Chains A and B, each alone.
Chain A
Amino acid sequence: MLDTTLNLGSRVVLPKPEFDLLLADLRQSGYQTVGPRLQDESIVYSGIDSLADLPRGVTTEQAPGKFRLMRTDRERYFDFIPGAQSWKQFLFPPRLKLFSASKEKRWELDRSDDACPRYALVGVRGCELAAIEIQDKAFLRDDFEDPTYRARREGLFIIAINCLQPAGTCFCASLGTGPRVERNFDLCLTELDDAFLVEIGSDLGRSLMAGRNFELASAFVQNTADQALARAAGQMGRTLDTSDLPDLLTHSANLDARHWDEVARRCLSCGNCTQVCPTCFCWDVTDTVNLTATTTVRERVWDSCFNPYFSYQAGGNTRPTIRSRYRQWLSHKFGTWVQQYGSLGCTGCGRCITWCPAGIDHVAEIAALREEVKE
């Protein structure tokens, strides 16, 4: 029996039509299958039923402040690099109801528990998996745990994809998060013309693959995939020198560098970088009340350290300037994050560069800061 040859780490070839059956089985097992779709001239992550829903034959051109879809002459499903959305929205929803409260004589809380959706994520990149690992550290700490995040996280089925066509703003190779997916997946795909090379990453993944119409991967196929991956690693649009991180951004003298003033003249403080970032975790809480203020719904919503009110309090605003807000964001990602969570807060996905309306290239800003403080 072929099945017995499936082990963790096994690589087999699954014809593309078979993949649709796999998606159907996931749905039948209670998973919502979500993956990339074309929408509004971009690529979003939302519900998919089959490969037909994916952006086939499409690639992306990405540069600071630029994202364009382009047709390719290959009919592949994963030749693009993702758009503004990341999987963060499924684990850390942009808007989450915490509770509602209502008052007749006394205020009463309604803590009704909503069932947590169970997601099968289709097409998770190495940088995106690394981002999930980073958010795990923020939401599942020893001394604080977000129960919503845990329920969603533990329910995940992850189908990863090895990136073969990095975009101009990609620099995962500098951070060691990609393009090859190394760990923390159930199944990992490498796309071939008519089939996927599928690597088994978990027992759950193995049981989903068991009995399917796959072939063992020949040495030739495996070599072809490995070479394509090695080629991708050499095609990164950007390179980030991490050798002096986090010190460059935690050393207090560098926090007074002139370069912060220079960036502040270009930064609009719009917060796009934080909204597209797959690791940014800051949130706010809002109350939505009725007209008589006798019912309220309390929700957790994404926030951004670029929001002028982010650090506002009655005693004064801690970071009233764009300079201080940009410095906070960059020095958190590439500096203090390490002190807080043991890793950088960046995975090299490049979204913050692509989606910055001012075209600020944070990799270049770090290099410029380094030049200045070297003097």
Chain B
Amino acid sequence: MTPTLLPQPATHTAGHHDTPLTPDWAEIVAITPEADGIATLWLKFTDPQVEQQYHFQPGQFNMLYVPGVGEAAISMSSDPDDERRLVGHTVRFVGNVTRAIGRLKIGDQLGVRGPFGTAWPMKTVEGRDLVVACGGIGLPPLRPALYHVVRNRERYGKVTLLYGARTSKDLLYPGEYEAWRKADITVEATVDRGDEHWDGRVGVVPMWFYNFRLDPRNTIVLTCGPEIMIRFVIYEALARRVPTDRIYVSLERNMKCGQGSCGHCQMGPYFVCKDGPVFPFSALAKYINVEEY
């Protein structure tokens, strides 16, 4: 007896169209120089349907692709409710991909995948005082949160931005501080090194906490910046008895996918790209002192 043949399999194709690693094209419609080696790129999606559907929350990031070079994970720094539907990324041109981004001009294309990752908990923290503590290129991922506060100012208590940069020339978005102050946000800028252009405060961000009265029962800390700054902001917040689950941290790691698949961004049990980048410190406390983890 002849054995029965198996049913002929249908041709299996991997629908690359559905491949989560394929970017959408966007065009650079404007470039705002922000500081030495830092600029904001304003992107408009080429496909109107993608543009319509795309929406991000403060703190999330995109994977930006320079064809032939590669991708970099960059947080959105613009207003999530931007009427022009433009998506802004403030980029420091320091790595392979970001230096290539820095060579692009208005009208050039970038591939975009996203948005990825967790957001600042803007809903959960309504009714609380906010301390936004950031340094250097750590302000851009927090700027969408500030825009959200400005748009919904009545939902939050006292809001303070503590922002530090190396020198006054490195401070990002100085033209916006006035608008934020008008929206009743206390904006305190500090620099590591003073110069003739600066008559403000000199010192690092965590030192600001010394001069700063906060209500530990009602304060939320949102922090992003160099790891050493984050570490000391956390120490200062804890010293003032802010509970660990009310301190939110945005972490930076090498990322290739944005979806918890490539493995690069792992920190302990977390994939920083999908379980973060924004974490409550209570989730990180175990690991903060483990070296090179």
Q: Which residues of A contact B21 (CB under 8 A)?
A: 98, 285, 298, 300
CB A366 to nearest CB in B, in angstroms, measures: 18
* B182 close to chain A: CB less than 8 A: no
* A305 CA / B21 CA spacing, docked (Å): 21
* A289 CA / B7 CA spacing, docked (Å): 42
Type the 1/0 row for B67-81, where 1 means its CB is closer than 8 Å to any CB of A.
111110000000000
Q: Is the CB of B266 within 8 A of A328?
A: yes
Q: How many residues of B contact A (CB 8 A)?
A: 60
* B48 close to chain A: CB less than 8 A: no
* B210 close to chain A: CB less than 8 A: no
Q: Is the CB of B269 within 8 A of A336?
A: yes
Instruction: Sample 12 A-B pairs with CB under 8 A, ordered by A number.
Output: A21-B3, A29-B9, A98-B22, A107-B111, A113-B14, A116-B13, A150-B14, A157-B6, A211-B3, A282-B262, A285-B71, A305-B266
Given known contacts A282-B263, A336-B268, A313 and B290 CB-to-CB distance under 8 angstroms: no
Q: Which residues of B contact A312 (CB under 8 A)?
A: 254
Query: Which one, A65-73, A314-322, A352-360, is touching chain B?
Result: A314-322
Q: How many residues of A contact B (CB 8 A)?
A: 81
Q: Is the CB of A99 within 8 A of B16?
A: yes
Specify the main secondary structure of chain B where it touches its partner: loop
For B14, the closest partner residue in chain A by CB is: A148
For B262, the closest partner residue in chain A by CB is: A283
Type the 1/0 row for A287-300, where 1 means its CB is closer than 8 Å to any CB of B.
10100010010101
Given known contacts A113-B14, A143-B274, A107 and B4 CB-to-CB distance under 8 angstroms: no
Type the 1/0 row for B8-38, where 1 means its CB is closer than 8 Å to any CB of A.
1101111111111111010000000000000
Known: A29-B8, A144-B274, A283-B257. 8 other contacts (CB 8 A): A113-B17, A114-B16, A143-B260, A143-B274, A147-B15, A147-B20, A211-B4, A318-B292
Q: Is the CB of B18 within 8 A of A154?
A: no
Query: Which one, B53-61, B90-98, B118-126, B214-222, is touching chain A?
Result: B90-98
For B272, the closest partner residue in chain A by CB is: A318
Binding site for A on B (CB under 8 A): 1-9, 11-23, 25, 67-71, 92, 94-95, 98, 109, 111, 226-227, 252-254, 256-257, 259-264, 266-269, 271, 274, 286-287, 289-293
Given known contacts A256-B290, A282-B263, A283-B262, A113 and B15 CB-to-CB distance under 8 angstroms: yes
Given known contacts A111-B22, A211-B3, A287 and B70 CB-to-CB distance under 8 angstroms: yes
Partner of B13, one of A113, A281, A286, A287: A113
* A222 CA / B273 CA spacing, docked (Å): 51
Q: Which residues of A contact B13 (CB under 8 A)?
A: 113-116, 151
Q: Is the CB of B14 within 8 A of A147?
A: yes
Q: Which residues of A contact B257 (CB under 8 A)?
A: 283, 285
Given known contacts A210-B4, A324-B292, A118 and B12 CB-to-CB distance under 8 angstroms: yes
CB A333 to nearest CB in B, in angstroms, measures: 12
Partner of B264, one of A103, A282, A315: A282
For A99, the closest partner residue in chain B by CB is: B22
Q: Which residues of A contact B256 (CB under 8 A)?
A: 283-285, 303
Type the 1/0 row for A145-161, where 1 means its CB is closer than 8 Å to any CB of B.
11110111011010000
Q: Is the CB of B25 within 8 A of A107?
A: yes
CB A132 to nearest CB in B, in angstroms, measures: 17
Partner of A318, one of B3, B5, B22, B253: B253
* A218 close to chain B: CB less than 8 A: no
Q: Is the CB of B254 within 8 A of A151?
A: no
Type the 1/0 row for A248-280, where 1 means its CB is closer than 8 Å to any CB of B.
001010011000000000000000000000000
For B66, the closest partner residue in chain A by CB is: A287
* A252 CA / B18 CA spacing, docked (Å): 39
Given known contacts A111-B16, A155-B12, A311-B253, A293 and B268 CB-to-CB distance under 8 angstroms: no
